Amino acid sequence: MSMRGARRPGGPTTRLAIRADLLDFTADPGWSAADDAPGLRYRADHWLLVEDGRVAGVQPGAPDASWQRQDHMGRLLMPGFVDTHVHMPQLEVIASYGAELLEWLNTYTFPAERRYADATVCEAGAQRFLDALLAHGTTSAVVFPTVHPGSADALFAAAQQRGMRVIAGQCLMDRHAPADLTVAVERAEADSEALIARWHGRDRLAYAVTVRFAPTSTDAQLAMAGRLLARHDGLYMQTHVAENRAELAWVAELFPNARSYLDVYARHGLLGTRSVLAHGIWLDATDRDALARSRSQIAHSPSSNLFLGSGLMPWRAHEDAGVPVSLATDVGGGTSLAMLRTLADAYKVQALQHVRLPAWKALYTATRGAAHALGLDSEIGSFDTGCTADLALWDWAHGSVAIARDDAARTLHERVFAWMTLADERNLQATWVAGQPLYRTPETTT
């Protein structure tokens, strides 16, 4: 099946040009809030050229009439956001009251995930989830479905239909969860092998060996996850680590021989350049060193960390130790699919630790930085020529307060920081995946 947006052999070239203020990054801007921060690439009022679903160039003036032109002068165009940790079946339990992690899982999350035993729930859930990502300006994601292979099938199929870059895999649990959400090791290995054969490397899809978290896996299951990773090239690994203190104490009880929570995964060969570990709040220097050496990334999920009362992720300590950091909504622990709200929360989580998070660092991390950490920076996350044209078009301001704040901004960073802090999905005008328009803001009628 051909990828959406790509040219069919022998078919005509498709040419789209979009006029807007273009913001992307060529490299990590560090912690500078200056308008000339390294790696920042801001081109006010330029045209982005998209040919056969890929970025073909950027220019100040309008291209010729062989291009289909869309004039969005005065709006902001960015690469689509990359959400590196989000749960498809948890839209139904977003904003659930009054529990920390372990109680939240048992009370809300596991019951919601049981519904995905039903193929129609999987199908509808996957469609709704991906359309919701697009309606929040997110075009790529690393996703947890449920233990049911049908939930991963439905997610991959829906992503393939939309031409989206999605990384996912059957969620592995074989203890400490309701019986109908656990799968024995042999069965899960066979399910995973079948899903890898069906989806890994197809179009823009990749398989992630998906260990829910250490408490819901036996050593035998963790060993099986390690075998899958060793057996297949290019697989990702996703899990949770060191999110909540009660969870940490439980892991220490369950795995008395492990040096730390992270070490449970390290011992089974689950760390590596394609490993994505959500949270990473309660780690020590030895853990950080293990993450840095293996180039495993922490998917920082500030909205979830605040909502579930989990703790404050020490971004600077991770970065100083060489640990790659990406950003994630972690819905339904997080309370919004909007990466912009997540970035605003990330700023506040750092502020509570007396660290200032510049807009540049936040936006880089949510685009090119995530792409780089996932080994996908030649495909997504920037306007580099040849990248797939996954794009989000934003209003600079929505509503009278934001409009007044935008008008008052004196520097580019001040303007972009106010946008990042005040904007959400209501600012989104349109989303393209591989040059195809897949979301348009609904027309408001008065």
The candidate with the shortest Cα–Cα distance to 412, out of 35, 32, 40, 45, is 35
Hey, what are 401's tokens? 């307060």
Cα–Cα distance measured from residue 417 to residue 86, given in angstroms and rounded to the nearest whole number: 24
**Least CB distance from residue 279 to ligand GUN, whole Å?**
7
CA geometry: angle 298, 299, 300, nearest 5 deg: 100
Residue of the chain from 81, 129, 213, 417 that contacts ligand GUN (CB under 6 A): 213
Residue of the chain from 84, 96, 109, 326 that contacts ligand GUN (CB under 6 A): 109
Cα–Cα distance measured from residue 293 to residue 305, given in angstroms and rounded to the nearest whole number: 26
418 is an interface residue for ligand GUN by CB under 6 A: no
With CB under 5 to 8 Å by kind, the binding choice for 210 among ligand GUN, Zn ion, none is: none
**Least CB distance from residue 423 to ligand GUN, whole Å?**
24
With CB under 5 to 8 Å by kind, the binding choice for 105 among ligand GUN, Zn ion, none is: ligand GUN
Residue of the chain from 21, 52, 203, 330 that contacts ligand GUN (CB under 6 A): 330
243 is an interface residue for ligand GUN by CB under 6 A: yes
User: What is the amino acid identity at position 219?
Assistant: D
Residue of the chain from 15, 54, 87, 200 that contacts ligand GUN (CB under 6 A): 87
Hey, what are 422's tokens? 């005040």
**Least CB distance from residue 90 to Zn ion, whole Å?**
8
With CB under 5 to 8 Å by kind, the binding choice for 213 among Zn ion, ligand GUN, none is: ligand GUN
Closer residue to Zn ion, CB minimum distance, 38 or 309: 309
Residue of the chain from 212, 274, 341, 415 that contacts ligand GUN (CB under 6 A): 212
Alpha-carbon distances, residue 384 vs 22, 52, 54, 371, 401 (angstroms): 12, 15, 9, 12, 34
Closer residue to ligand GUN, CB minimum distance, 148 or 200: 148
Closer residue to Zn ion, CB minimum distance, 80 or 332: 332
Closer residue to Zn ion, CB minimum distance, 170 or 431: 170
Cβ-in-10-Å burial (0-12, 13-18, 19+) of 24 comes to buried
105 is an interface residue for ligand GUN by CB under 6 A: yes
342 is an interface residue for ligand GUN by CB under 6 A: no
Cα–Cα distance measured from residue 437 to residue 405, given in angstroms and rounded to the nearest whole number: 30
**Least CB distance from residue 219 to ligand GUN, whole Å?**
18
**Least CB distance from residue 436 to ligand GUN, whole Å?**
31
List residues near Zn ion by CB under 5 A: 278, 330
Q: What is the DSSP string of 186-230?
A: HHHHHHHHHHHHHHTTSTTEEEEEEE--GGG--HHHHHHHHHHHH
Backbone angles phi, psi at 133, to 5 degrees: -55, -50
How many C-beta atoms lie closer than 10 Å to residue 105's C-beta?
23
C-beta separation of 76 from 361 below 8 A = no
Closer residue to ligand GUN, CB minimum distance, 22 or 172: 172
Number of residues this chain uses to bind ligand GUN (CB under 6 A): 11
Name the residue number minimizing CB distance to ligand GUN: 333
Residue of the chain from 333, 358, 381, 435 that contacts ligand GUN (CB under 6 A): 333
With CB under 5 to 8 Å by kind, the binding choice for 143 among ligand GUN, Zn ion, none is: none
With CB under 5 to 8 Å by kind, the binding choice for 151 among Zn ion, ligand GUN, none is: none
User: What is the amino acid identity at position 171?
Assistant: C
C-beta separation of 263 from 222 below 8 A = no
With CB under 5 to 8 Å by kind, the binding choice for 243 among ligand GUN, Zn ion, none is: ligand GUN
Residue of the chain from 160, 304, 326, 427 that contacts ligand GUN (CB under 6 A): 304
Residue of the chain from 4, 136, 204, 240 that contacts ligand GUN (CB under 6 A): 240
* Sheet (strand 40-51) strand order: 54-59, 40-51, 15-25, 68-79, 391-394, 428-433, 436-440
Q: Positive or negative, the Cα torsion across 378, 382, 384, 389? A: positive
* Residues at the contact surface with ligand GUN, assessed by CB under 6 A: 87, 101, 105, 109, 212-213, 240, 243, 304, 330, 333
